[in-house]
Structure 1
Amino acid sequence: MAEIKLSQGKFAIVDDGDFEYLSQFRWHVTDHGYACRKNSSKNVYMHRELMGFPKGLQIDHINGNGLDNRRSNLRVVTAHENRKNSGIRSDNVSGYKGVSWDRKNSKWKVGITVSSKWIHLGRFESLTDAAKAYNDGAIKYNGEYARLNVIKEEESA
């Protein structure tokens, strides 16, 4: 594993075998958290530089870290598969994917979107139980593409 220096004091992680080739370019980090370089007037993303440009497909960072460009962390996916591995929404207040507060019932409400349809997974008193319920649903509906909640220690005790 090697690191390539980016703008803003950040680094991209790459395999040792890719370091020499990638380090010949000047890379920066984008607002969306990806390593990128300029080629004439267009952006070239590091993960696409490594995995190619498959027509109609995308490159997914399995662990959700757009700066981790080790080949073991990259996979070619459809847009639909890539959405399954999306991170937590910026307007989320629970701290967990798929979990929101239901004011009417004073419980944590859990749901997941599958093929553009929202599926209700239940309501829970405990935030931890709600986060675990989302994880169960994500595994059931998203399989290998599921992005699971990491349960915080103080809540699982």
Structure 2
Amino acid sequence: MAKTIKLKLITGETALIDRTDYHLVKEYVWRRGGTENRYAASLLDLGDTITTIYLHRLVMCAGSKDIIDHINGNPLDCRKENLRFVTSSQNAANRTFTNNPFGYRGVCYFPKKRKFQARLMEGGGVFRSPYYKTPVEAARYYDKLARGLFGEYATYNFPEEGERGVIPKKSDNEDSED
């Protein structure tokens, strides 16, 4: 018997859960919800109010202040082997996308200097690299900082074997076809 169950959402997608958690989730109607409709969510009618519950939080029995991270970056993969409790810094470090125009995580450009710098935040502090001529150099320095500060929780511009890489933002003029 398979240990993973494919849970069909009413929005057409499929979430993954452990067979041992099916009893927790079978009574709910699941759909996409939450931030950017990324997560599996269900509405719970409490009589005088309606609240949203999230599949990953339910299977981890997360408290209201707990942060749950999807290790592989797939918010519909709610198997316990893919979920872990993290700090907000660790969760931010594991984000799989970059939203800057250079396509590298943690890279800033300074027009007055015409140079690039890596920046990373941890515990309220900001870590900065020296200035570099290219975004690639700054991105490599970012990876060095991230490995030291976040280790397994980070995603990298230039991942080594077993590490997760960032997904660069597509530019506005890039074709959507492969």
TM-score normalised over the length of structure 1: 0.78
- Name the stretch that deviates more: 30-39 or 123-132: 123-132
Structure 1 counterpart of 2:32, from 29, 34, 37: 29
Structure 2 counterpart of 1:116, from 93, 118, 124: 124
SS at match of 2:117: strand
Q: Which has the higher helix share?
A: 1
Corresponding residue number in structure 2 for 1:128: 136
Structure 1: which amino acid aligns with 2:55?
Answer: M
1:138-149 mapped onto 2 (5 Å cutoff): 138-149=146-157
**1: distance between equivalents of 2:142 and 2:51?**
39
- Name the stretch that deviates more: 39-48 or 64-73: 64-73
Aligned-residue offset at 1:139 = 1.2
1:80-119 mapped onto 2 (5 Å cutoff): 80-88=89-97, 90=99, 92-119=100-127
**2: distance between equivalents of 1:9 and 1:125?**
47
What is the aligned length? 151
**1: distance between equivalents of 2:110 and 2:5?**
45
**2: distance between equivalents of 1:103 and 1:114?**
25
| Percent of pairs with identical residues | 30
SS at match of 1:9: coil
**1: distance between equivalents of 2:51 and 2:34?**
16
1:18-97 mapped onto 2 (5 Å cutoff): 18-19=21-22, 22-32=25-35, 33-40=38-45, 41-54=50-63, 56-88=65-97, 90=99, 92-97=100-105
Corresponding residue number in structure 1 for 2:14: 11
TM-score normalised over the length of structure 2: 0.70
Structure 2: which amino acid aligns with 1:36?
Answer: A
**Structure 2 residues not aligned, in runs of 5+:** 158-164, 168-178
Q: Superposition RMSD on alpha carbons, in Å?
A: 2.6
Q: Which has the larger radius of gyration?
A: 2
Aligned 8 A contact 1:57 1:79 in 2: no
- Structure 2 CA distance for partners of 1:151 and 1:89, relative to 1, 3 Å: closer
Aligned-residue offset at 1:79 = 3.3
Structure 1: which amino acid aligns with 2:94?
Answer: N
